[in-house]
Amino acid sequence: SAVISQKPSRDICQRGTSLTIQCQVDSQVTMMFWYRQQPGQSLTLIATANQGSEATYESGFVIDKFPISRPNLTFSTLTVSNMSPEDSSIYLCSVEGADGETQYFGPGTRLLVL
């Protein structure tokens, strides 16, 4: 399984500001994913990020609010723009396993917007 790290691990931000979350993998992966886990809720897929192409967003998520970069096969960023308290969540990145059958998750970034 891949080793995935995220930065920051947690943050407290002011309304109207933006935060960029980094996801680093210890091996090259084709598919990376960003999820949101709102307090007490399950995980919802925000977007799929392929290296060298634009991210594919799920219904209810737009690029202006959640711009994503995927500059190489081991790294991705998710920006939460113009934040409001409703954006308070855990944001997790995941990668497709080498077997193509699984996804492995990072430790998450816990975001609180005041």
Partner 1 sequence: GEDVEQSLFLSVREGDSSVINCTYTDSSSTYLYWYKQEPGAGLQLLTYIFSNMDMKQDQRLTVLLNKKDKHLSLRIADTQTGDSAIYFCAESIRGTYKYIFGTGTRLKVLA
Length in residues, the chain:
114
For position 38 contacting partner 1 by CB under 8 A, the verdict is no
User: Smallest gap, in angstroms, from Cβ of residue 50 to partner 1?
Assistant: 10
User: Smallest gap, in angstroms, from Cβ of residue 96 to partner 1?
Assistant: 7
For position 101 contacting partner 1 by CB under 8 A, the verdict is yes
For position 95 contacting partner 1 by CB under 8 A, the verdict is no
DSSP states along the chain? ---EEEE-SEEEE-TT--EEEEEEESS--SEEEEEEE-TT--EEEEEEEETTSPPEEPTT--TTTS-EEEEETTEEEEEE-S--GGG-EEEEEEEE-TTSS-EEE---EEEEE-
User: Smallest gap, in angstroms, from Cβ of residue 31 to partner 1?
Assistant: 6
Closest CB to partner 1 among 13 and 43? 43
Would you tell me which residues interact with partner 1 (CB under 8 A)? 1, 4, 31, 33, 41-45, 48, 58, 92, 94, 96, 101-108, 110
